[in-house]
Structure 1
């Protein structure tokens, strides 16, 4: 009888995890019933090993230990993939909602996608994309005009000149302009770079940007001489070899291209990851 009372107390205190259905056996068959209870208790404890019961009070959101952890939001997120996926969604309403949400965040970074959207069949999206492109373009031109007027007042200010050059370069690289407008901006950039080279002829970035701009504008006069000068000054600069390739390709000099890649290998020119990709692609093309 004492064993029955003890078992009952242990069950009430949750020391034993067995169900109450086994109690009749413990009462009617004291010894074997208690043995059966112990065997069942062992089996239950093995199954629960490694688990932990959490009381309902622990689910209180105000409890510090169980509070949801906030993940820090970064200022800038890459949304190119969602934008491309949004264009493939069949439901027009969903596609429009997704794309407008993404493009509203920072349209300047997705000019190439805006141009694609402007050619879509969705009238609302096409209107938005076209309007946004025009706004970005207008903003660029206002900034360039403002920078030019500031530079005109202080023509010897290097920071103003550099800022003006950067604005023109960003506008050209944005993909917003083409044709005559692009040529006009390249002409402005050429004049600004010439002015910069007058004051700092050994400034590598300006020197190479001038060559790059001339090649992009299809102006090859004097470029080979400038490339030779650049390689003599900065023989380890990978950008120079990329510019050489552009010059040789546009001039139809196949032999010189093969010699160029041979020279890179023989002189063990250091190449960045981007440079290695460039070298691997074009070396396979010409050999």
Structure 2
């Protein structure tokens, strides 16, 4: 009976050792010695060791090797298809419901893609994950995004100093500043400083041939957030001057006058909007109907 048990034990141990060897789950020599010298108990101890290693954060470069399975003949790295994962299960849910191994593997493969601002909400959630390794990866990614945003601002700031009359450079600089502002990586004081820079760049753009309706809307919102109401009123008038047939020019003016409680200017602009010989959107039509009834 004992002989049969030993035969079964060593057969199972050989299979287990080969699996560990193939997937590099443990140290082969140590595991083999443990299985050979301690019948029955050796397998149990090896499984305990494997479980403990899986739950412990790896150090150094090993953390990046944990989730890479290498075919030594073809040297092909198998990676998670991030887009497929996103389509199947939202990443933020994956960080909650999946086991530690899957969380780490999923986040690592996300980080192997081009990290951009759209990843910030996910990474903020991952930073607070109870798994310290997942949290570490997320913090590293957040710092990398912040570094890239700062470098972009610095790059275009230098370009701007050398080419202040180049609308393309001004536009890129404004875009870099806006990205940094919306990243959430700065305190209120710094945010206000960058917003003033952004407002200045937008002023230059709407006064140039690069002007657009979207830039006027950005400029109006920026000045309102800075509480520069006189400048906002000036920009609103300039918006309607350059785009007299634009629905946005009048709708943003209505919003501005409503916030500033300028009743006379509000209803005057409403009548101008109603007189436009263009087909307005459903939202603008709703505004017209609502306030026309209020003013009647």
TM range (shorter): 0.5 to 0.7
Give, in angstroms, the shift of residue 141 of structure 1.
Answer: 1.3
Per-residue CA deviations over 1:58-107 (Å, capped at 9, x if unaligned) read xxxxxxxxxxxxxxxx9977937521321331533323332332344233
Q: Are the equivalent residues in 1 in contact too, given 2:220–2:235 (CA < 8 A)?
A: yes
How do 1:1-287 residues align onto structure 2 when only pairs under 5 Å count?
A: 79=86, 82-89=90-97, 91-108=99-116, 109-200=118-209, 204-241=213-250, 243-244=252-253, 246-248=255-257, 250-251=259-260, 267=276, 270=279, 276=282
Distance 1:159 1:117, change over 3 A: same
Normalising by structure 1, what TM-score? 0.56
Per-residue CA deviations over 1:132-191 (Å, capped at 9, x if unaligned) read 222212211112111111221232223222221222223334444452222122111122
Per mean C-alpha deviation after superposition, the further-off stretch among 107-116 and 172-181 is: 172-181
Give distance in 2, aligned partners of 1:253 and 1:166.
32
Normalising by structure 2, what TM-score? 0.55
Distance 1:157 1:224, change over 3 A: closer
SS at match of 2:103: helix
Shift >6 Å, 4+ stretches: 74-78, 253-263, 277-281
Give distance in 1, aligned partners of 2:249 and 2:221.
10
Structure having the higher Rg: 1
Give distance in 1, aligned partners of 2:119 and 2:101.
21
Query: Structure 1: where are the runs of 5+ without partners?
Result: 1-73
Equivalent residue, structure 1, for 2:62: none
Distance 1:129 1:262, change over 3 A: farther
Per mean C-alpha deviation after superposition, the further-off stretch among 160-169 and 117-126 is: 117-126
Q: Are the equivalent residues in 2 in contact too, given 1:249–1:257 (CA < 8 A)?
A: yes
CA RMSD of the aligned region, Å? 4.2
Equivalent residue, structure 2, for 1:61: none
Give distance in 2, aligned partners of 1:111 and 1:279.
36
Query: Structure 2: where are the runs of 5+ without partners?
Result: 1-80
